[in-house]
Structure 1
Amino acid sequence: MWIVRLALRRPYTIAVMTLLIMFGGIFSLKGMLVDIFPTIDIPVVGVVWNYPGLSTQDIERRVTSYSERSITTTVNGVSKIESNSIPGTGLIKVFFQPGTDIGAAIAQISSAAQTILRVMPPGMQPPMIVQLNASSVPVAQITVTSESIPEEKLFDYGLNFIRLKLFTIPGLTVPAPYGGKSRQINVDVRPETLAAKGLSPYDVVTALQAQNIILPAGTARIGNFEYNMSLNSSPEAVDEIAKIPIRNVNSQIVTIGDVATVSDAFADQTNIVRVNGIRSTYLNILKKADASTLDVVKATRAIIPQIKATAPPGLDLKLDFDQSRFVTSAISHVLVEAIIASVLVSLMILLFLGSWKNVIVVCTSIPLAILAAIIGLRLTGNTINIMTLGGLSLAIGMLVDDATVAVENIHRNRTLGLPLTKAIIVGAEQIALPAIMATLSIC
């Protein structure tokens, strides 16, 4: 075995390599991402078109079909396209060939969407483009509870204050809160009154859009000062919305208040959150694919006291569903297994061979082999996750077997009268091939 002969001829070189492996392994371990599952790159992009009130057939015919045709003809690397049309929403999943640059693909999809807006129904907004990634999973939840604050204010505080604080954490995304009520100005049209005036709901929408605008109007010079001017017709109160004119019918101005009821209310609540029986809200903490679960959760825990310091009296924040605990537990189990294996092998060698030197050799080889494996994981772009930790756990068992057999075989050759150097070389040569084949069969 050339590596054994090299170690015997150049002990100082091996000592330096051992130190390099030790420090390199520790450095690699600190710089690696820690997560539950390995990074899974799925080349899929979702395109979501929204047009409230449009029927399923119209969404399919006037939105989804145009978008599919545009993506197929202008975006590179498309493997297949799946679409689903429901009332008011069209969802398109674009699957790409492996190795496709998803960033460039998203840019092409966005450009194609802007191009076809002119043939879409009037008022159609650009779609929401989402990269579907299996690694972007919830790693924690923040519950927002209070016995004195109503759930609509909890929702508003979570949406407009807590999320803004959390967005300062690198590698984190936070969707809108679950639970609570979202404020909404409702215009409930009375169909009978509207029909009697010869109007349609579209006339009400047109009137709202025409009056709810802000336009630049140039500048005004007064003395030594110049002021920017603008025309602002946006209503400042609910009562002003009711006074917006729709049309002149029979020499009479019909306003929105004449045909509809305007109210400062809430959107339809689609989910309810209860914490210990109290209506509450919670925010999902999602990590990005290139972020570490431990780092994201740690930063979230650190920022919660800052949010509490500026929160309204009676509002309580708590971090629940901490997924980093599973990662920490898995790492702890691997370390415990390594320690137990080293102790048991040391006791066995000390009991049967009676040599402290052999004990030191075995106890040193196991952690060094693990550190060398970590360096390899870092160089190949892997992360510390359940899969890699499971592989290291399995490797510890094989290391124990190989180290025990190697030490025992060298000891046997010594008892046969071979000198130490010859016993080491012969012992390594005798077990090298069987050990390699046994390891490969397990892998």
Structure 2
Amino acid sequence: MFVANISIKRPVFITVIIIVFLVVGMLCYKGLNINDMPQADFPYVTVTVEQHGVAPDQIETNVAKKVEEAIGQISGVKHIYTNISEGLCNVIVEFDLEKSPDVAAQEVRDKVSSVRKSLPNDIDEPIIAKYDFQAQPILSLAVSGTMDNRAITKIVDDVITKSMYTVSGVGSVKVYGKEEREIKIKPDLDKLAAYGLAPAEMVSAIQNGNMERPGGKVTDGQSEISLRTDNNVKSLEDFYNITVGVRSGREIKVRDVATVSDGTKDRDSISYYDGKEAIGVDIVKQSGSNTVLVSDNVKKQLELIKGVLPQGITIDVVSDNSVSIRDSVNEVVKTILEGCILAVIIVFLFLREWESTLISGISLPTSIVTTFIAMKVMNFSLNTMSLMALSLAVGLLIDDAIVVIENIVRHLHMGKPPIQAAREAASEIGLAVMATTFAVVAVFVPIAMVSGIIGKYFIEFGLTVAFSMLVSLFISLTLVPMMSSRLLKAERKTKKILCRTFFRLV
């Protein structure tokens, strides 16, 4: 074959190409993400709307039904799931699997924006996001100490959480069991009634008295400065001095109709670690990032944080998903190496030649390392499915090389010089090797095309096997003939006698 002839005539050229493949393959291997399962994006979109203090039935009527009706007009919507609780409406939209998650999220965002004016004015801005099934915590921490919970909460919010967001690959930080500060204003209904004020008027006045307002612009030549008035409340006294109304020319202050206290919000969760109350912190990675790398970077950042924390505050790692992922990957890699060694041993037992075994032994890892290039280009990761594919492919990868080597040895036994034997043997068997390889590829490629949720996970399995087989075909028609023409020699009688004696002993 043409490719085999070129590799035999230009051994330096093909050697340089193989070395480049090995170097690039190793670099791609180091750049592959390490996760437990393949990254699979599903077209699920969530819409979260908060309306504090409102009963579920009112949210259903005023928010949920309007949002559902708007979203239902989008093409490709399969199901809409809605969960309603006091002050909260959560809508999960499931699209057909063929729908792009990014396109689905944008269409939902547009529809929700179109009905925003018909929703109650006091709702928080709707939050639209792609639903990530793999958005599970990769690291869970417990923060505890001798200080009270509210003081530790401030440290978690101001130091730990902000520091975690600076780590590359961290998507979100969730905190549990903390005490948050809350300014509580308790109106005296009798006093309000005496001044002719309604509770809603007081609420509106407090909201308006605790916000920044535009103050116009100042132009000086070519420069323009925007002004804003800072009306944000900074102390309890500021709350007391907010004007809630005017009666008979007199300003009615909050102090006249209510009491203000500095307290904490009602806690919706409590965390304990080793029997002591603590604050739980979950670290969630960004979609598609390297679980092991992110976890390592977070732990490095934690070491820096511990150096600036007040005395008595401790941070303990409760769970670390990267440990199980790293162990799982290492176990599969170990299995692949064991399979490679056993495959080479079996080849030696059957071919009974050190040179032929060496060539087969070199072609096997070369094929695997080169496959990493295709995996990197396809944005695959080292996970259970892709490593399983490589483990399965170990036995298949060496087949092409064995067939080519055995035919070259046959031609050598016919008395031909090594270069001629390698060239004629490769040309003679080339089409058969190609047919065998493409038959195997034809079996595994359809696995990568399985529809549905299962198909999302089997893409990397099927394509990794297919890539490795195509690489094996290239190696068997280039590297194997080239090395055989240089390493294999015509059979010598003394060598044959030594081999027979050796194998009789084993």
Aligned to 2:142: 143
Q: Deviations over 1:298-352 (max 9, x none)?
A: 2212222222222222222244422222333233234323332333344444456
8 Å Cα contact 1:114-1:126 kept in structure 2:
no
Contact 1:49 1:127 in 2 (8 A): yes
**Is structure 2 residue 59 aligned with structure 1 residue 89?**
no
Which whole-Å deviations, capped at 9, do the CAs of 1:90-149 have from their partners, x for residues lacking one?
222233455655546545544554453433223233211222122433222233222x12
Match of 2:310 among 302, 309, 312: 312
Separation (CA, whole Å) in 2 of partners of 1:154 and 1:366: 56
Q: Secondary structure at the match of 2:16?
A: helix
Change (3 A) 1:210 1:21: closer
Q: Deviations over 1:67-93 (max 9, x none)?
A: 3334455x6765554333332112222
What is the SS of the residue equivalent to 1:241?
Answer: helix
**Larger displacement relative to structure 2 (27-36 or 109-118):** 109-118
SS state at 2:130 partner? strand
Deviation at 1:56, TM superposition (A): 1.8
Match of 2:154 among 153, 156, 172: 156
1:297 to 295, 298, 302: 295
* 8 A Cα contact 1:345 1:404, kept in partner: no
Cα gap change, 1:344 to 1:113, in 2 (>3 Å): closer
Separation in 1 of the partners of 2:313 and 2:155?
10
Measured in 2, the distance between the counterparts of 1:205 and 1:311 equals: 39
Change (3 A) 1:159 1:13: same
With normalisation by structure 2, the TM-score equals 0.72
Quote the residue 1:69 is aligned against.
69
Distance 1:256 1:176, change over 3 A: farther
Equivalent position to 2:329, from 331, 353, 369? 331
Q: Alignment partner of 1:57: what SS?
A: helix
Over 3 Å counting, the alpha-carbon distance change for 1:318 and 1:403 in structure 2 is farther
1:357 to 349, 355, 358: 355
Q: Secondary structure at the match of 2:176?
A: coil
1:382 to 380, 386, 411: 380
CA distance in 1, matches of 2:33, 2:63: 41
Cα distance change of structure 1 residues 78 and 350 upon mapping to structure 2, 3 Å threshold: closer
Q: Residue 159 of structure 1 contacts residue 176 of structure 1 at CA under 8 Å; is this kept in 2?
A: no
Partner of 1:41 in structure 2? Answer: 41
Answering whether residue 151 of structure 2 is matched by residue 167 of structure 1, we say no
* Equivalent residue letter for 1:340: E
**Are 2:393 and 1:395 equivalent residues in the alignment?**
yes
Contact 2:42 2:101 in 1 (8 A): no
Alignment gaps of 5+ in structure 2: 219-224, 445-461, 463-506
C-alpha change, 1:409 and 1:137, in structure 2 (3 Å) is same
- Matches of 1:257 and 1:398, distance apart in 2: 83
Residue 59 of structure 1 deviates from its aligned partner by: 1.1
Using the TM superposition, give the Cα deviation of residue 46 of structure 1 relative to its aligned residue in structure 2, in angstroms: 1.2
Greater CA deviation, 256-265 or 168-177?
Answer: 256-265
Aligned to 1:130: 129
What is residue 30 of structure 1 aligned with on the other side? 30
- Percent identity among equivalent residues? 21
Q: Is the 8 A contact 1:37 1:135 kept in 2?
A: no
More deviation in 293-302 or 265-274?
Answer: 293-302
Q: Give 3-state SS (helix, strand or coil) of 1:177's partner.
A: strand
SS of the counterpart of 2:300?
A: helix
C-alpha distance 176-258 of structure 1, shift in aligned 2 (>3 A): farther
Identify the residue that residue 224 of structure 1 maps to in structure 2: none
Following TM superposition, by how much is the alpha carbon of 1:265 offset from its aligned partner in structure 2, in angstroms?
Answer: 1.4
Q: Does the 8 Å CA contact 2:174/2:283 hold for their aligned counterparts?
A: no
Counterpart AA for 2:302: I
The verdict on how the C-alpha distance between 1:101 and 1:412 changes in structure 2, with shifts beyond 3 A counting, is: closer
Deviation, 1:370, is 0.8
Structure 2 Cα separation of the partners of residues 151 and 397 of structure 1: 59
Deviations 1:13-62 (A, max 9, x none): 44233223212311322333222221111122211111112222221221
Contact 2:32/2:381 (CA < 8 Å) preserved in 1?
yes
2:203 maps to what in 1?
Answer: 205
The 8 Å contact of residues 194 and 200 in structure 1, kept in 2 or not, is answered as yes
Relative distance call for 1:336 and 1:310 in structure 2 (3 A) is same
1:211-250 superposed Cα distances (whole Å, 9 cap, x missing partner): 3234355699xxxxxx997655544333543454545789
427-436 or 285-294: which moved more?
A: 427-436
Aligned length: 435
SS state of the match for residue 175, structure 2?
coil
Cα distance change of structure 1 residues 131 and 229 upon mapping to structure 2, 3 Å threshold: closer
Structure 1 unaligned regions, length at least 5: 221-226
How far apart are 1:367 and its partner, in Å?
A: 0.8
